[in-house]
Every structure is written in structure tokens, then in C-alpha cells.
Structure 1
Amino acid sequence: MNTTTRTIAAGLLATSLQAGLPAQAAQSNVLTQIAAQATVDGNYVVTADGVRLYYKDWGPKDGPVVTLSHGWPLSSDSWESQMIFLADKGYRVIAHDRRGHGRSSQPWDGNDMDHYADDLAAVISALDVKDVTAVGFSTGGGEVARYIGRHGTSRVRKAVLVSAVPPLMLQTADNPGGLPIEVFDGLRQGSLENRSQLYIDIASGPFYGFNRPDAKVSQGLIDSWWAQGMQAGHKNTYDSIAAFSATDFRQDLKKFDVPTLVIHGDDDQIVPLDISGKASAAQIAGAKLIVYPGAPHGLTETHKERFNQDLLNFLED
């Protein structure tokens, strides 16, 4: 939190404690009130700490609501295939550009998963939507998990994690199967040395599986990925590497109490299936896991017909 947000939070927390609420309930109440202070200004939600979050709101306004949280270092544009598909089916589909990404503000601080989750809460609160199906791809899956961990499911009907980073990507003493810190240090080094080239290399290689033999390469997808990444802030995307790699979501997953679908490709070279999709599905009570054989990280594009249908089936179930 920045100074303004900390001041707001401190005042609200003191009031809640004076009212006799337990500390945990008081903290939850604070988060809810901070989210509720968000306002709508055109196509932006303005958060309590002054960050402007660009958002898209497609489809009928009285349709069932789906929120879409995007991956690193992309924007809500990465969800266009799903947004137009679901909106055409009668759903109200809302996707925002994460702070520091796309058309949203580029704050120097607050580029962490707690702020990402609170920003999602701000969007949901400011637009006053309920019975939401919260869908998160990659880093966005962490955003959804942390949102449920911090804000609960009072406004959430279902959850979907797609190629998502939970439970914990980083290798630690109690997470020996995770990826070594050197992997993420390499991303940080590449970002500082030549961010533009790093994004070209990721998009033209492992993200869509274009580095696999006989892959059908789409220059359009590569160019779109690069353009979205370069629209984001340098500092914001650099900090976000730690947010998606080192945040521990295991306690958040324990708080999932809504129907949850986990979708992952078994050829995901970015967020390997065993340490992510399989592990998350095992830790979320009653979660359904669908594994796409041969699918890469960016399956929302490479397998979009199947993914869109699987998502629609889950929404209508």
C-alpha cells in the first residue's frame, strides 16, 4: 500500500476494532471498504490509492457476469477471443488491464499480488456485479486466487484457473518441485538488458509452443503479444516477475468454496502442469481438472475453440 492507502486502512481498521470485531474480521472489513471506495470514470475504475484501471465491459448488462484476469505482461486485449464468444452467448464479460499493464496507470509501487487482488475487488465493487465467475489466466490465476483469499466469495459464483501460477512456482525448501530462482532471475536480467527482445523471444518460442517441431507459427499472435507487453510499464512488469513467481497461494486455495475448473496444457513450458494445474486442483476441494494434451501455455489462443466451449460448458453447468 502507498501512504494514502495505509492511512485509509489504518483509520478503518481502528474503527472496526473499536466496534468489537475480531482482528481477522476487521481486516476483511477494511479490505471490503477500501474496494468499495473505488469509483468509475468512463472506461476506468479509480482505486482508493488513485490508480486508474482501464476495463472493457462487453455483452448485455443484465447477463451473467464473467470477469477475466490476464497474464504477464499482457492486457485485457489477450482475452478478446473469449470476450466476443461469451458476450455473443449472452454473458456480461468484464476484463481490466492490471495496474502497470495495458492502458492502466503505471504506479511505481504496489506491483504485487495483494494489490492485484484488491484491484480486482475494486473493479467488481465499483461495477457492483455479483454472482461472478472469476477466470484467471497465468498471473491472472494468481490474482483470482489471492482475491478469494483476501476477499472471500460473497460475490463469486464460480472460479476458473487457466495455465495458472498457483499454488507456488518458486522452488523452496517446502516446495522442492518448483522452478529454481535462476529461471526468474533470467527473466529479470532479460527484461533489463532488452525487454523488447525478451518479449519477442517468449512469444515466438515457448508461450505458444512455436519452438516445437512442426508448430504452425502465427506472426500475428507474436506481434500482438509483443505490442501488449511493450504497452505495459517497465518497472511494473519487472516487479510482476516476483509477484507471479514467488507468491505462495497455498493458503488462498484452501479458501475456495465455489465450483472451480482448472485447465492446463501438458506441454506448458512456462508454468509446468505438475507444479501448477495438477497441484492446484488437488488442493481445491471438489475442483475439476481438464488437461489438454500437447497444449502450450497460451492455450486460450492455440486451443481457443476447445477452451471457449469448455468454459461455456462450465458456466452453463
Structure 2
Amino acid sequence: MGYYVIVEPNIKIYIEDLNPEGKKTILFIHGWPANHKLFEYQFDQLPQMGYRCIGVDIRGFGNSDKPWKGYSYNRLADDIRCIVETLRLQDFTLAGHSVGGAIAIRYMARHNGYGVSKLALFAAAAPSFTKVPGFPYGLNKEDVTKIIQDTYNDRPKMLQGFGDMFFFQYLTGPFSNWFFQLGLQAAGWSTAKLATSLRDENLFSDLGKICVPTLILHGVHDKVCPFPLAVAQKEGIKHSKLVPFENSGHGLFYEQRDKFNKELMKFIEE
């Protein structure tokens, strides 16, 4: 069931709510530059296992409205708060991939984890997506700036290049094209502005504010958010557990989807 939630005057966020009567709720926040359909291979299985799965299209992406402004971590975390309040969610698992993980972390810190009983981070872009003094991991800021420039100059070519570094395992041509189409559903300005937040924002001060049990799933071969980011998350978040995915890159939710789904379900049931 799909519908819209108003998060600001004249700005609506698209929600896909699968199995609303499910025993436990998982709210998924997708990564850049896709939309909630990124979790297709979770939505195929988890509702059958009795879970309520809510997929969110970040503003500017998928079926959500695409305003010119509002792509800071704070605003995107506030969008999630509006969704949680509108749906009256309680005792749910907040799950985020890549920049979705960064938004989830900011939500936990900014809104004191409102309604969240557990946090799941998948290849999260935290504590910093780019290399900064004292943190020599992540991408170079210059490389992210080039992605932003390429978004404005030739977005399809940029998306194709990003898709090539997203996965570790071999992909079929049709799957690569499907992934490419997810990125095209976003607005160009949204794609560029969220990439700017990825480049310029960080979450070092947010990690220590998380007090709920946290699962960290991360591909060892991740070229977008290198594995040392997951190690830093584990060190910075109390009550956290890190599970390496030995045969995955940034797309672990697809590349090792059976293990991914099992680890997530096991964590929720603990």
C-alpha cells in the first residue's frame, strides 16, 4: 500500500507500507541515489515472515516531491520524524543504507531516537563519507565534488559510473539497467544537493548519543563507504554489533541477500 505523508507545507513524502498488520515494524531509508525500491529483495521476503516493512522515498527521490531545498541531514531526519508521528510508529526498527544510515543516525541524535527500539545500519555513510583531518577513510572530497559536477553535466553517465563501483559481485545487464533506472527517477538537483550533504556533513558527535541496540552490516569490499567506516561506527555506538559481509561491496542487501535478511531478522528477534 502506497501513500503520501506531508512533512512541510506543499511537500509530500512517498511511503510504501507492506503488511501493515505485521508483528514488528521496520522503517527502511534508502541510499543515494536510489529510492525505496532498493530494498526489493527484503520486501519480497520479510513481509512473508510476518514483518511490517515501510519503505520511504527520501525527498527528491523516487515518488516523493522534489523541492529545491531541504537536503541537509537535519531536514531529512525531521522528515522521518514527521513520518513516525503521522503513522504513530512505536517500538520499531529504524534501518538505513548508505546516506539513509547517516539520516538514521542523525534522527537518533536529533530526535532522541523517538519511537525507535533498535537501529540497523547497512553500509552507512558515517561517521564521515569523506576523508577529514583525523579520519583518513571514506572518499576524497575532490572525488565527491566531481560526482556533483558530473550530475549537472551528464547525470546518466555519472549514474552508470557509480553503479559500476556499487557492487562487488557480477551483475547481469538487466539488473544493472534496473539499478540505473532507480537513480534516474530522482531530480538532478536533489541528486547533487544530497551528494553535497554527503561531502560536507559528518556524524562524529551523533554516534555517542545512540542508546538502543544497533546492528551494523557492511561489505568488506565496499568502495563507496569503505569498511573502516563500519569499524568506526562499532567503536562509537554503545551496544552495537558489527557483521562483516565477506562477498559484498556497497550493495550487500542484494549481493548476500539471504544472509542479510537472516541477520536482520535475528537481530530484531533478539
What range is the shorter-chain TM-score in? over 0.9
Cα distance, 1:245 vs. partner?
A: 2.8
Distance 1:252 1:281 in 2: 13
Cα distance, 1:218 vs. partner?
A: 1.8
Give, as a single letter, the amino acid of the residue that structure 1 aligns with 2:260. Answer: F
Whether the aligned pair in 2 keeps the contact of 1:60 and 1:87 (CA below 8 Å) is no
Change in Cα spacing, 1:187 to 1:153, as seen in structure 2 (3 Å) is same
Q: Determine the structure 2 residue equivalent to 1:59.
A: 19
Give, as a single letter, the amino acid of the residue that structure 2 aligns with 1:256. Answer: I
1:243 aligns with 2:197: yes
Give, as a single letter, the amino acid of the residue that structure 1 aligns with 2:178. Answer: S
Q: Determine the structure 2 residue equivalent to 1:147.
A: 107
Distance 2:9 2:135 in 1: 34
Q: Determine the structure 1 residue equivalent to 2:268.
A: 315
Distance 1:258 1:158 in 2: 5
Whether the aligned pair in 1 keeps the contact of 2:72 and 2:197 (CA below 8 Å) is yes
Q: Determine the structure 2 residue equivalent to 1:263.
A: 217
Question: Which residues in structure 2 correspond to 1:225-304 (within 5 Å)?
Answer: 225-274=179-228, 276-304=229-257
SS in 1 for 2:222: coil
Question: Which residues in structure 2 correspond to 1:1-317 (within 5 Å)?
Answer: 43-203=3-163, 205-209=164-168, 215-274=169-228, 276-317=229-270
Give, as a single letter, the amino acid of the residue that structure 2 aligns with 1:92. Answer: R
Whether the aligned pair in 2 keeps the contact of 1:165 and 1:245 (CA below 8 Å) is no
Cα distance, 1:113 vs. partner?
A: 1.1
* Aligned-residue identity in percent: 29
SS in 2 for 1:251: coil
Give, as a single letter, the amino acid of the residue that structure 2 aligns with 1:238. Answer: A
Give, as a single letter, the amino acid of the residue that structure 2 aligns with 1:140. Answer: G
Whether the aligned pair in 2 keeps the contact of 1:266 and 1:273 (CA below 8 Å) is yes
Which has the greater radius of gyration? Answer: 1
Q: TM-score, normalised by structure 2?
A: 0.96
Distance 1:206 1:311 in 2: 25
Whether the aligned pair in 1 keeps the contact of 2:138 and 2:224 (CA below 8 Å) is no
SS in 2 for 1:271: coil
The gaps in structure 2 that reach 5 residues or longer are: none
Cα distance, 1:175 vs. partner?
A: 2.7
Distance 2:96 2:22 in 1: 22
* Larger RCO (alpha carbons 8 Å, 6+ apart): 2
Whether the aligned pair in 2 keeps the contact of 1:71 and 1:139 (CA below 8 Å) is yes
Cα distance, 1:67 vs. partner?
A: 0.3
Distance 1:103 1:138 in 2: 19
SS in 2 for 1:43: strand
Cα distance, 1:240 vs. partner?
A: 0.6
Cα distance, 1:96 vs. partner?
A: 1.1
Cα distance, 1:61 vs. partner?
A: 2.3
Q: Determine the structure 2 residue equivalent to 1:15.
A: none
SS in 2 for 1:177: coil
Cα distance, 1:62 vs. partner?
A: 4.8
Q: Determine the structure 2 residue equivalent to 1:27.
A: none
Cα distance, 1:295 vs. partner?
A: 1.2
Aligned length: 269
